Amino acid sequence: MRKEFNELVATMKRWDLYFKGDEVDIALTDLEKVIDEVEKRIECAVRSAKEINETISKYTEDVDKDLPINMSVSDHDLIQNCSNDVDIALDMGEDMCVVDNWYNLFSQTEELKPIAVGNIEYDFPEEVYTIGNADNTEIIGDVYESAFHEFLDLGILVLEDSNDFTSGKTNYIVLDNKFISIVKKKQIDLSKVPIKNEVFMTFHSSWGEIDCDREGKVIEIRGDEEYNGERNYLFDIAVFDLPTYFVFLNSKNITMGEADDILAVGYWNKDNTYSEADAPPLTPKYHLTLEEWVRNIFGGDEKEDAPTQLCSDPTKHEIVNSIISQLKGIEVDGETMEYILRKVGMEEQMLKQLFAQSTNDEIDYLHDVRNGKG
């Protein structure tokens, strides 16, 4: 299980399928913790079974000789207890082996992390309280306000202004460490708490600024809803067309930043209409197509005719141009191009096409090169 998990994480990292601190990273971290626990539970079961085997082996010789077995009470209890321990260790719904730290396998190797994890902000439904152990040297966990008041009613917490309070890592501690397990059972499960939308990009306009998440969904608009009697069009935007925006940047070898002019990106409005990357919709006389806008801003010739049937699709044509640009950028050589053609299964097809387009002199020359005469 561990091997397969590590291979999965390595593959996802290689293809940039997740980033540190995002929901996938959190889910993988939680899964790794479960795998850690399962491995330790299996080790508990193995050690318990080993104790059973060692105890039973004391009586193997008598059994082989068909002699009466005189088992001690302690050996009987050990076999019975260890048998029960195997069942407990392999039952993920039973936490005795974890809480009691069997074989010292479940001791905390690091302090529990506080609520803030990297730059992630969680959208908690209630106020959150951090509670420490009795001597305030470690954080036990974070709980919601409702659970915090339950603990107060039970009389198991000591507050900062109390005479019994010990200064340290938190403002609230347990009266006695025997209550730690009660707090842990109420600890917030971050995997079940929604994450506040993280700003991925900001687009600027004379009407204000607008933030969006990785999916292009609008998070926040900074500007007046109305100016000189006109409604601010930013408040009508629902989702930015980031995929098209990314393709455009890639085709121009432009590195994406954290902000850009709103004219550079298309978007869907709340009424499901689409506004292309151009001037704001309130100034239709300046309306341009994306292609015209790109030429005006970044220069370039009029649209070229599609060189192939595949390139008649503008998106695919952009991708083809991007590939060509990248190959030129690395100064690709003939050997590498041959390797690329072979890997995409086009080596034979290209040979036929080049042969059909070659003159007799060129073909004779290639024959000479092949025979070592060229």
At 182-222, the pLDDT tens digits run 999 999 888 787 776 678 889 988 889 999 888 888 988 99
Q: Is residue 323 part of a domain?
A: no
Q: Which regions of 230-306 does DSSP assign to beta strands (E)?
A: 230-231, 237-240, 259-261, 267-269, 274-275
Last residue of a domain, one of 138, 169, 192: 192
**Cβ neighbours of residue 12 under 8 Å, at least 6 residues apart?**
18, 24, 28
DSSP notation for 13-42: HHTT---TTSHHHHHHHHHHHHHHHHHHHH
pTM: 0.32
Q: Is residue 161 part of a domain?
A: yes
Q: Is residue 310 part of a domain?
A: no
Q: What single letter denotes the amino acid at residue 129?
A: Y
Which is nearest to 157 in space by CA: 182, 138, 122, 137?
Answer: 182
What pLDDT band is residue 300 in, cutting at 50, 70 and 90? low
- Per-residue CA distances from 305 to 122, 313, 320 (Å): 51, 11, 14
Q: Greater confidence, 334 or 175?
A: 175
Which is nearest to 246 in space by CA: 237, 238, 256?
Answer: 256
The reported pLDDT for the residue numbered 292 is 54
| Domain with 52 in it | 2-104
CA distance 166 to 172: 9
The reported pLDDT for the residue numbered 295 is 54
Q: Is residue 320 part of a domain?
A: no
Which is nearest to 181 in space by CA: 133, 219, 246?
Answer: 133
What pLDDT band is residue 359 in, cutting at 50, 70 and 90? confident
Is 67's pLDDT higher than 60? yes
Q: Is residue 38 part of a domain?
A: yes
231-237, long-range: CB within 8 Å, 24+ apart, which pairs? 232/207, 232/208, 233/207, 233/280, 233/281, 233/282, 234/205, 234/207, 234/208, 234/210, 234/262, 236/269, 236/270, 236/271, 237/210, 237/267, 237/268, 237/269, 237/270
Task: Report, as an integer, the average pLDDT of 93-120.
Answer: 65
What pLDDT band is residue 374 in, cutting at 50, 70 and 90? low
Q: What single letter denotes the amino acid at residue 121?
A: E
Q: Is residue 208 part of a domain?
A: yes
Whether 32 and 60 share a structural domain: yes
On whether the CB atoms of residues 127 and 145 are closer than 8 A, the answer is: yes
Which is nearest to 240 in space by CA: 257, 265, 209?
Answer: 265
Phi then psi for residue 145, to 5 deg, are: -60, -40
Q: Is residue 305 part of a domain?
A: no
Query: How crowded is residue 102: how many other Cβ atoms within 10 Å of its Cβ?
Result: 20
Q: Is residue 81 part of a domain?
A: yes
Task: Report, as an integer, the average pLDDT of 20-39.
Answer: 84
**Percentage of the chain modeled with pLDDT above 90:** 19
Query: Judging by beta carbons within 10 Å of its beta carbon (0-12, 13-18, 19+), is residue 297 exposed, middle or buried?
Result: middle
**Cβ neighbours of residue 102 under 8 Å, at least 6 residues apart?**
44, 85, 89
Both tokens of residue 114? Answer: 């506080």
Last residue of a domain, one of 159, 192, 225: 192
Is 42's pLDDT higher than 90? yes
Whether 75 and 38 share a structural domain: yes
Q: Give the count of domains, the chain.
A: 4
Both tokens of residue 340? Answer: 């690329």
Report the mean per-residue pLDDT for the chain: 80
SS3 assignment for 362-374: HHHHHHHHHCCCC
What pLDDT band is residue 66 in, cutting at 50, 70 and 90? confident
The single residue listed with the structure tokens 């626990």 is 37
On whether the CB atoms of residues 298 and 249 are closer than 8 A, the answer is: no
Q: Greater confidence, 279 or 199?
A: 199
Last residue of a domain, one of 298, 324, 356: 298
On whether the CB atoms of residues 251 and 226 are closer than 8 A, the answer is: no
Q: Which regions of 128-216 does DSSP assign to beta strands (E)?
A: 128-132, 139-144, 157-159, 172-174, 201-205, 208-212
Both tokens of residue 75? Answer: 């050996």
The reported pLDDT for the residue numbered 108 is 54
Whether 291 and 358 share a structural domain: no
